[in-house]
Structure 1
Amino acid sequence: MRQTKRTNQSKMGGNTVRYYLKLIFHWWWLLIIGALIPGGVSYQLTSQKQDFYQAAATVMVGSGLQNPDPDLWQLNLSNTLAAAYAELVRQGPVTSAVIERLGLERSPEQLAEQIGTRIYSGAQLLEIQVTDTDPEAAALIANALADELIRRSPASGGSDPAQQEFIRRQLEELQMKVTDVNERINALTTSLADLTSAAEIQDAQDRIAALEEVKNRYQMTYANLLDSYQAESPNVLSLFEPAVPPQWPIASKTKLIVAIASMAGVGLALGAIFLMEYLDTSLRWEEAGTQSILEMPVLGVIPQQTSRKASLIFNPLSPVSEGVRTIQANIFLMRPDHPFKTLLLTSPGISEGKSFVLANLAVVLAAAGNRVIVVDSDMRRPTLHEYLDRPNAIGLADVLRHANTVDAQVIPLQETDYDGLMLLTAGRPPVDPATLLTSPRFQNLLAVLSQQSDVVLVDSPPVIGPPDATVIATLVEGTILVASVGQSRRELIEQARDRLLRQPGVHLLGITVNRVKSDGNYRYYGGATEKIAEGQGDGWLTLKEAAQQLGVSKEQARRWRKSGRLPAVRKGLRWLVDPADVTRMLEDTLEIKV
């Protein structure tokens, strides 16, 4: 049990990963746009910015490194003071003084934004960095900031060059004086041995004592001056390395900015994709092993086709044929001992491809040796005759409108290009198709057609709309719902299912999934019912007028004209058709006089 549960969880995880990969692959163009637009805009903005240069002046904090025997306490204190000076260099008094000295046209706050610092704690060094569009100005400002810090340090006096020179001269003079006093003391001390009188000895000793006192004063002054000259205080600053104008600008971050902007764009695009998929309630086909959709068994799957020539009618070896044969097999397996005689194919909404599926199913059933009659009961805008390449001059509407009794002799069935397959077109559009379909004549017509064939396939308008499909579903033995991937809404499919099942006597066999990998753009209803134009006597007919008399679309008439089936003459910018050719085509096809 645990192994089975683990396997099922692994399959679900794999399906989820495949779903998201398929989703990303489907929306690849949106991801590319999401990356290109922010990346291009950010590149355009960053490439227009000026180059910046950075110059750095280095200041030494304290003099511990100049001392042969440095004090550890002074070194630690110098590191702490370096951090304080790093903050001080950005403050208003320092920046204002530098602006005034150099005559800069900027505020202290603006100059502070140009300043950066770096502390080398192990070396007691503070690096003052200045960024500017002018390399000369960057170096000049960095040196001015370093000098201003040095001036403002408590022990800055010993660092003044003139004062240092004065102290040095004083030290040299004191050193000479101390040497002179020592020589005089030594001379007096030597002369004591030659003196004999007590008065002379006392006088020499007094002079030696006076010279010793002078010597002590000289030595004390020398020591004080020497301390000032060496300036060994930890709170003293000295310029270690001045700033020089940089030769190259700071490395641009254009690539990084563009990369971040592109990644952000891709992230937003992914979010939009997942949001659209979450809000999208259209029918999806995730796995070939799906057995049911919305509690309806799946009778078959029709793959997408790029053109009409991809259908089974034009190509029996196309992928569509396999899906249609699957539908045929599933319908047969539902009732193998007593096959269905009448079947309705309808759809929840428009543009689902029900007429396409019905036409292909009829061809497959006829190819299997069955006598098949297809009835186009979609009298609002019929299309079944175009799939079977037949005109729509007289059909179902004419039979139900004019015939008091339905007789096999008056039903205008048309032969098709397939053996055993007959077509009853919709005919001229009536004012109220629902009234004709609810009349007893339509039920009698289905009974007559059932006697003449093995199976009758009925095409109808969508379920969500006029009541035609619901009415017909109560008169046939089985109903098949055709839904299109990416086109049918799941809530619309549920409404169609519930509307059909609420009617007594409706046998909903299942659902057929069409256009598995495309959303299709075929328009089902293009406008309201219109009256067909009458013939214009002996005058020429335009291609549109000829199409109206033949009951086909203008596009179908144009295809017949190109193939030579409908003769036409070009006069100026228009193609004109002889009415006699239209009449002859109707007579040859219907075997009746129009």
Structure 2
Amino acid sequence: KALSNYRSNLDLKLNQLIDKRNSLTERLTETAIKEQEIIPLIREHKVKEELYLMLLSKEQENALAMAVTESNARVLEAAHGPNLPISPKTIKYVAGGTAGGALLSILAFMGVAMLNNKVNNKHDLPSVNRQPVIAELPQMSKKESRNTKLFIQDEHSVIAECFHILRNNVDSMLPRPEQGGHVILVTSTLPGEGKTFTSANLAAAFAYAGKKVLLIDGDLRKSSLTRRLGGSGRKGLTSILLRQNPDTAGVIRPVGEDTRGMDVLYTGPTVPNPVTLLSHPLLGQILSILKKQYDAVIIDAPPYGILADTAILASLSDITLYTVRSGKIDKRYLTQIQQLADQGKLPNMAYIINGVNFKSASYSYYGYGYGYQYGYGAKDPQQTARKRD
């Protein structure tokens, strides 16, 4: 029994020694792994140390060489100035930069204004011009442009009042025949200057004044007025000229119920030779007949600067209203227009400047009796009445 106990103790010590050996083996393995990781770092450290020693040696050699070599530089004059630190003068620099920027902006605006050769208002007409500016139509706001298809809906707006003034000025320029009306031609230099809009609303202004008005779409190529009034495909001016009969029965139509006293003559079917068709003597006979039936015959003509159709229509007109959109036509071109007027190709001509920005043109604001200003919209009448009270 004693031997058995002694043997058990020895086995227990043997197991402890085996565990200790395994633990030492694991620690030796971990040490070997760490040594493998440290060896590259030691090598890198040695390389850096050798480089540092080499650079230090070079620096000492250069310092020794510079100390031995005599310098060629010499001080001619000692520097002047305080030895204290200098702080930037922020306020002074900001004020100077602001003043310089403002001056550059003013010079830039002046340069742009000097280089701008466009007609923006009646003051921009060249000195050679002798034709009157019969009206300046204000620039419409984006809201008004969206709400206005062709005719101005609000009769009390400022732009509607401008058309009434235009109608009165046109009426004062027209000759006074013993009987019959007049032919009024509306044209422009380029498309998009508002001649169709001007023709339609001028006709509406005449109708609003109790006149009997006929609106003719004389642009046989583009037919903007016909298209905007929904008359595409209907009989019109070309129908009368093609059948060689001055009878206008069944061709002239009323514009609508809201525009009493105003009729319209559409362009009619498309023709391949508008100039030849307009050159027929029948056109003059038709206009003579229409002048006896209407107080005012307003022709929406094509742009004069592009097509020859307008020259034919102008020769049969009593007055020519030349529409110029603000900021679109070069001032130098108006000299050619003046020459055409002097030659009689644009009889009794007057300018209409469309889309004038009265604020930028330094125009003063003024009212029209109902509290309206150049906002192109009417105020509430009840609100205006309360303010007056």
The amino acid that maps onto 1:297 is P
Which of 245, 249, 266 is equivalent to 1:425? 266
Which of 106, 112, 116 is equivalent to 1:270? 106
Partner of 2:161: 322
Q: CA deviation at 1:293?
A: 8.5
Tell me the distance in 2 between the aligned counterparts of 1:383 and 1:430. 16
Partner of 1:379: 220
Tell me the distance in 2 between the aligned counterparts of 1:116 and 1:340. 94
Tell me the distance in 2 between the aligned counterparts of 1:423 and 1:293. 37
Q: CA deviation at 1:462?
A: 1.4
2:181·2:291 contact (CA, 8 Å) conserved in 1? no
Structure number with higher helix proportion: 1
By relative contact order (CA 8 Å, sep 6+), the higher-ranking structure is: 2
Tell me the distance in 1 between the aligned counterparts of 2:176 and 2:238. 36
1:117 counterpart = 2:72: no
Tell me the distance in 2 between the aligned counterparts of 1:476 and 1:330. 17
2:80 aligns to what SS in structure 1?
Answer: strand
Q: CA deviation at 1:469?
A: 1.3
2:316 aligns to what SS in structure 1?
Answer: coil
1:348·1:496 contact (CA, 8 Å) conserved in 2? no
2:188·2:304 contact (CA, 8 Å) conserved in 1? yes
Which of 239, 261, 285 is equivalent to 2:121? 285
1:18-33 pair list within 5 angstroms: none
Tell me the distance in 1 between the aligned counterparts of 2:206 and 2:76. 87
1:296 aligns to what SS in structure 2?
Answer: coil
Q: Please give the TM-score of this superposition, normalised by the length of structure 2.
A: 0.63
Partner of 1:512: 352
Shift in alpha-carbon separation, 1:260–1:272, aligned structure 2, 3 A: same
Q: Identity of counterpart residues, as a percentage?
A: 24
Shift in alpha-carbon separation, 1:433–1:255, aligned structure 2, 3 A: farther
Shift in alpha-carbon separation, 1:432–1:270, aligned structure 2, 3 A: farther
Partner of 2:140: 305
Q: Please identify the structure whose Cα radius of gyration is greater.
A: 1
1:343·1:455 contact (CA, 8 Å) conserved in 2? yes
Tell me the distance in 1 between the aligned counterparts of 2:300 and 2:171. 19
1:484 counterpart = 2:320: no
The amino acid that maps onto 1:329 is N
2:248 aligns to what SS in structure 1?
Answer: coil
Tell me the distance in 2 between the aligned counterparts of 1:442 and 1:374. 15
Partner of 1:28: none
1:315-354 pair list within 5 angstroms: 315-335=154-174, 337-338=176-177, 340-354=181-195
1:502 counterpart = 2:338: no
Q: CA deviation at 1:451?
A: 3.1
Tell me the distance in 1 between the aligned counterparts of 2:231 and 2:184. 23
Which of 195, 200, 209 is equivalent to 1:368? 209
1:295 counterpart = 2:258: no
Shift in alpha-carbon separation, 1:278–1:357, aligned structure 2, 3 A: same
Q: CA deviation at 1:275?
A: 2.1
1:139-538 pair list within 5 angstroms: 250-253=86-89, 256-257=92-93, 259-285=95-121, 294-306=129-141, 307-308=144-145, 309=147, 313-335=152-174, 337-338=176-177, 340-385=181-226, 389-396=229-236, 398-400=238-240, 402-416=242-256, 417-503=258-344, 506-517=346-357
Shift in alpha-carbon separation, 1:254–1:443, aligned structure 2, 3 A: same
1:490 aligns to what SS in structure 2?
Answer: coil
Tell me the distance in 2 between the aligned counterparts of 1:346 and 1:302. 15
> Structure 2: which 5+ runs fail to align?
1-65, 359-389
Partner of 1:162: none
1:275 aligns to what SS in structure 2?
Answer: helix
Q: CA deviation at 1:496?
A: 2.3
Deviations 1:94-123 (A, max 9, x none): xxxxxx89xxxxx979x999x8424xxxxx
Q: CA deviation at 1:411?
A: 2.2
Q: CA deviation at 1:251?
A: 1.9
Tell me the distance in 1 between the aligned counterparts of 2:79 and 2:281. 95
2:218·2:301 contact (CA, 8 Å) conserved in 1? yes
The amino acid that maps onto 1:278 is M
2:128·2:335 contact (CA, 8 Å) conserved in 1? no
Shift in alpha-carbon separation, 1:460–1:367, aligned structure 2, 3 A: same
Shift in alpha-carbon separation, 1:255–1:414, aligned structure 2, 3 A: same
The amino acid that maps onto 1:383 is S
1:463·1:496 contact (CA, 8 Å) conserved in 2? no
Tell me the distance in 2 between the aligned counterparts of 1:513 and 1:286. 7
Tell me the distance in 1 between the aligned counterparts of 2:128 and 2:223. 28
**Which piece of structure 1 moves more, 337-346 or 433-442?**
337-346
Tell me the distance in 2 between the aligned counterparts of 1:460 and 1:271. 42
Q: CA deviation at 1:401?
A: 5.6
2:325·2:354 contact (CA, 8 Å) conserved in 1? yes
Tell me the distance in 2 between the aligned counterparts of 1:112 and 1:399. 101
Tell me the distance in 2 between the aligned counterparts of 1:270 and 1:279. 14
Shift in alpha-carbon separation, 1:397–1:330, aligned structure 2, 3 A: closer
2:237·2:265 contact (CA, 8 Å) conserved in 1? no
Q: Please give the TM-score of this superposition, normalised by the length of structure 1.
A: 0.42
State the 4+ residue runs in structure 1 displaced beyond 6 angstroms: none
> Structure 1: which 5+ runs fail to align?
1-99, 102-106, 119-126, 130-245, 519-594
Superposition RMSD in Å:
3.4
Tell me the distance in 2 between the aligned counterparts of 1:108 and 1:317. 89
Partner of 1:74: none
